[in-house]
């Protein structure tokens, strides 16, 4: 766009960064930019879509809870907001080790939106606007501004595109399909053409959501109650404890009659009928996909969960569908407890446009345009938490670029956020990407309880962590350090511990030992020790968790630290961005093509690219060593 073309629009303001989209990615991106001191504008097609939860009104879950804790530790907002607005809280996977413990909270989706919107409205350096961005102004490979549907022009030096499922959105319900964003809101259509003109390689992904029904029409006696945890664990490290009367969820199952109705109507499904071309998430399939893929399964579980304290709508988790409304009514009614439900909103599938994330650098900037940052479902991921994590990182890096500072990149050994972004950018994805604990090689180091230990200092240096949070963090670290040292130096005699150990099914002592050694036993918790340790200090939930895990898993943690040291060696071997891999003798053709396409920043990143073999990595290491020697 040249000056003459810009003059045709109404100039409405000058900003450092413009955020396109106000979902979970857009909110975190906007807040990060503003808190780092850059002048920021956030656009939303509809301000009712701010932090909207068009699918499951919940935050956290396996792997996802780790992301929320990391966002919070860096100074993001998601953890604080869910602590304000949750209806029920549960810690998942408690029968397994601490590496996979994951916090999940059912949210009041209306209140979640309201509270997040308040934070945005009151944030210094941030303006929010209900406008649809339809064009992006690029000149000489750099962002210059954005144009809205009302022909308003806003100049900026960087953008973060966080369009979620709005970009080219199309809803599918049986034989019917129409252009729409989630929840019946308008889609973003004109922006698609602008992105294509800029050369972005867009593709179609698909997701879906189940029906909602009135709570008075469920038969709860036929379902299994799912209460919240007795002791509520906060998401945010700023909250030491939370108290709230929790609302229960309910569990039920499909049956052979449900499956019969679905099979008989496969031809009417938009998914099987060929109308849907986008690729859906493997780990969150529609109910018709489950029945089709697993014909021997007699039942599939579903959860009935509240949408909010001030609404009678209930969400039927695990039952997304693109079937026609009459089929939906019939198969939902075959399920115990759902025989007479009244559906207020039918299930639907939604297709949308997104980018291939291998087109992005590790700082989430589009490689071909300076100042063009991308986040959330636009990058091919799924989930509110994955979106928020990318939004935070894209916002941080947009602000850093404006300020002329080095990019902020977390590697796989530092955070689940690092795993998420490295997977997307280095490996790409052929379906909506979902974080899981199994994706992290160093998951014992990347626990929920120590997210602040790993990341709060980084957030403080960026300018995102407040002084209040920083002082609270320092106090926690000092309390944890002192308590570990006290447990090392405080002994207990066999006689004093005899009854306690018998009660906990633990082997008696032969000699006096530090209490530290007792806590290493799997059957004994930190709270159990209060019985024989009257001098123990008052610690918060977060402090107790870190003390206990540090002591119980000390040996395993050290092994992972040794593995990380090896990983860091490969990450420290940097690869020049202008390296021409096609000219390196010994690299296979496939490796040359993949390396030229992705332009990895290090040997470590190169080793994770699909199609690059260990032999190719050895060739690169030898090449770098030769180049180093030639340089003297």
pLDDT score, position 174? 95
**Strand, coil or helix: what is 107?**
strand
pLDDT score, position 472? 97
Q: Is 361 a residue whose pLDDT tops 90?
A: yes
CA-to-CA separations, 146 to 20, 43, 151, 156, 371, in angstroms, rounded: 9, 10, 10, 8, 12
Q: Mean pLDDT of all residues in the chain?
A: 95
How confident is residue 538, by pLDDT bands cut at 50, 70 and 90?
Answer: very high
pLDDT score, position 273? 86
Average pLDDT over residues 605-610: 92
CATH number for domain 480-559, candidates 1.10.10.1800, 3.40.50.11900, 1.20.59.20, 1.10.1330.10: 1.10.10.1800
How does pLDDT run across 232-272, given as a tens digit for each residue?
999 999 999 999 999 999 999 999 999 999 999 999 999 89
How does pLDDT run across 197-210, given as a tens digit for each residue?
999 999 999 999 99
In angstroms, rounded to a whole number, what is the distance separating the alpha carbons of residues 386 and 384? 6
How does pLDDT run across 48-88, given as a tens digit for each residue?
999 999 999 999 999 999 999 999 999 999 999 999 999 99
CB atoms inside a 10 Å sphere around CB 535? 7
The string over 51-78, giving b where at least 16 C-beta atoms fall within 10 Å of a residue's C-beta and e elsewhere, is: bbbbbbbbbbbbbbbbbbbbbbbbbbbb
Burial of residue 448 (CB within 10 Å: 0-12, 13-18, 19+) is buried
Q: Is 123 a residue whose pLDDT tops 80?
A: yes
Query: Do the beta carbons of residue 261 and residue 331 sit within 8 Å?
Result: yes
Nearest to 305 by CA among 593, 25, 107, 40: 107
How does pLDDT run across 157-177, given as a tens digit for each residue?
999 999 999 999 999 999 999
Ranges of CATH 2.40.30.260 domains, the chain: 212-350
Burial of residue 578 (CB within 10 Å: 0-12, 13-18, 19+) is exposed
Q: Is 632 a residue whose pLDDT tops 80?
A: no
Residue 627 or residue 140, greater confidence: 140
How confident is residue 434, by pLDDT bands cut at 50, 70 and 90?
Answer: very high
In angstroms, rounded to a whole number, what is the distance separating the alpha carbons of residues 506 and 492? 15
Burial of residue 562 (CB within 10 Å: 0-12, 13-18, 19+) is exposed
CATH number for domain 573-631, candidates 1.20.120.80, 3.40.50.970, 3.30.70.380, 1.10.150.570: 1.10.150.570
Q: Give me the long-range contacts of 174-181 (CB less than 8 A, separation at least 24).
A: 174/268, 174/269, 174/270, 174/322, 174/323, 174/324, 174/325, 174/327, 175/268, 175/270, 175/273, 175/275, 175/324, 176/324, 177/270, 177/275, 180/350, 181/45, 181/49
Q: Is 308 a residue whose pLDDT tops 90?
A: yes
Residue 566 or residue 410, greater confidence: 410
Query: Do the beta carbons of residue 7 and residue 18 sit within 8 Å?
Result: no
CA-to-CA separations, 29 to 25, 159, 396, 405, in angstroms, rounded: 6, 10, 7, 17
Record the pTM: 0.94
- In the chain, % helix, strand, coil (3-state, to 5) comes to 40, 20, 40
pLDDT score, position 590? 92
Phi, psi dihedrals of residue 147, rounded to the nearest 5°: -120, 135
Query: Do the beta carbons of residue 303 and residue 189 sit within 8 Å?
Result: no
Burial of residue 304 (CB within 10 Å: 0-12, 13-18, 19+) is buried
Q: What percent of the chain has pLDDT over 70?
A: 100
In angstroms, rounded to a whole number, what is the distance separating the alpha carbons of residues 509 and 494? 5
Average pLDDT over residues 129-149: 97
pLDDT score, position 274? 87
Measured between alpha carbons, how far apart are the two ends of the chain, in Å? 46
pLDDT score, position 76? 98
Strands 58-60 and 17-20: what pairing?
unpaired
In angstroms, rounded to a whole number, what is the distance separating the alpha carbons of residues 264 and 542? 52
pLDDT score, position 158? 98
Average pLDDT over residues 403-411: 97
* Fold for the domain defined by 212-350: Elongation Factor Tu (Ef-tu); domain 3 (2.40.30)
Instruction: Say what the alpha-carbon torsion angle 407, 413, 418, 421 is, to the nearest 10 degrees.
Output: 110
pLDDT score, position 38? 98
The string over 453-474, giving b where at least 16 C-beta atoms fall within 10 Å of a residue's C-beta and e elsewhere, is: bbbbbbbbebebbeeebeebbe
Q: What percent of the chain has pLDDT over 90?
A: 92
Q: Is 611 a residue whose pLDDT tops 90?
A: no
Average pLDDT over residues 560-582: 91
How confident is residue 631, by pLDDT bands cut at 50, 70 and 90?
Answer: confident
Average pLDDT over residues 211-233: 97
Average pLDDT over residues 422-446: 94
Ranges of CATH 1.10.10.1800 domains, the chain: 480-559
How confident is residue 629, by pLDDT bands cut at 50, 70 and 90?
Answer: confident
């Amino acid at each position: 766009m040249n000056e003459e073309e810009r003059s045709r629009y109404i100039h409405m303001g000058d900003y450092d960064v413009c955020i396109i989209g106000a979902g979970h990615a857009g909110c975190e991106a906007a807040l990060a930019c503003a808190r780092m001191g850059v002048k920021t504008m956030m656009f939303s097609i509809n301000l009712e879509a701010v932090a909207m939860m068009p699918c499951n009104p919940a935050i956290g879950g396996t792997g996802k809870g780790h992301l929320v804790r990391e966002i919070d530790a860096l100074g993001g907002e998601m953890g604080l907001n869910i602590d304000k607005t949750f209806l029920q809280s549960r810690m998942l996977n408690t029968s397994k080790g601490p590496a996979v413990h994951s916090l999940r909270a059912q949210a009041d989706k209306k209140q979640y939106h309201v509270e997040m919107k308040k934070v945005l409205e009151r944030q210094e350096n941030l303006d929010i606007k209900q406008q649809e961005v339809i064009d992006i102004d690029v000149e000489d490979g750099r962002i210059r501004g954005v144009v809205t549907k009302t022909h308003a022009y806003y100049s900026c030096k960087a953008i973060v595109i966080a369009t979620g499922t709005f970009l080219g959105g199309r809803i599918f319900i049986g034989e019917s399909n129409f252009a729409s964003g989630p929840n019946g809101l308008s889609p973003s259509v004109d922006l698609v053409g602008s992105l294509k003109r800029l050369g972005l390689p867009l593709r179609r992904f698909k997701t879906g959501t189940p029906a909602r029904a009135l709570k008075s029409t469920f038969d709860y006696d036929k379902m299994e109650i799912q209460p919240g945890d007795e002791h509520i664990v906060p998401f945010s490290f700023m909250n030491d404890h939370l108290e709230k009367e929790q609302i229960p969820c309910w569990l039920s199952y499909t049956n052979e009659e449900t499956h019969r109705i679905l099979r008989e109507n496969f031809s009417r499904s938009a998914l099987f009928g060929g109308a849907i071309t986008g690729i859906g998430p493997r780990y969150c399939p529609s109910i018709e996909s489950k029945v089709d893929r697993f014909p021997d399964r007699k039942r599939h579980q579903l959860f009935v969960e509240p949408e909010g304290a001030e609404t009678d709508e209930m969400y039927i988790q695990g039952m997304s569908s693109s079937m026609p409304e009459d089929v939906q009514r019939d198969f939902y009614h075959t399920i115990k407890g759902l025989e007479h439900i009244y559906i207020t909103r039918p299930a639907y599938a939604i297709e949308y446009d997104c980018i291939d994330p291998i087109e992005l650098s590790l700082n989430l900037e589009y490689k071909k345009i300076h100042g063009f940052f991308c986040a959330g479902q636009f990058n091919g991921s799924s989930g509110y938490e994955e979106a928020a994590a990318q939004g935070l990182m894209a916002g941080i890096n947009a602000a850093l670029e404006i300020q002329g500072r080095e990019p902020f990149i977390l590697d796989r050994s530092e955070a689940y956020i690092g795993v998420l972004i490295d997977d997307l950018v280095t490996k790409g994805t052929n379906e909506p990407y979902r974080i899981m604990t199994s994706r992290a090689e160093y998951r014992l180091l990347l626990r929920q309880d120590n997210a602040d230990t790993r990341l709060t200092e980084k957030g403080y240096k960026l300018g995102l962590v407040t002084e209040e949070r920083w002082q609270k963090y320092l106090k926690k670290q000092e309390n944890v350090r002192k308590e570990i040292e006290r447990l090392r130096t405080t002994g207990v005699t066999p006689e004093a511990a005899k009854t306690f150990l018998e009660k906990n099914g633990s082997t008696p002592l032969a000699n006096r030992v530090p209490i530290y050694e007792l806590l290493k036993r799997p059957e004994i918790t930190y709270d159990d020790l209060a019985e024989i340790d009257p001098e123990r200090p008052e610690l918060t939930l977060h402090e107790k968790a870190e003390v206990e895990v540090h002591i119980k898993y000390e040996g395993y943690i050290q092994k992972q630290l040794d593995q990380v040291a090896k990983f860091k060696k490969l990450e420290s071997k940097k690869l020049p961005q202008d390296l021409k891999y096609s000219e390196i003798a010994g690299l296979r053709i496939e490796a040359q093509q993949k390396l030229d396409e992705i332009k990895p920043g290090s040997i470590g990143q190169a080793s994770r690219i699909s199609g690059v073999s260990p032999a190719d990595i050895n060739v690169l290491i030898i090449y770098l060593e030769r180049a180093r020697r030639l340089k003297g």
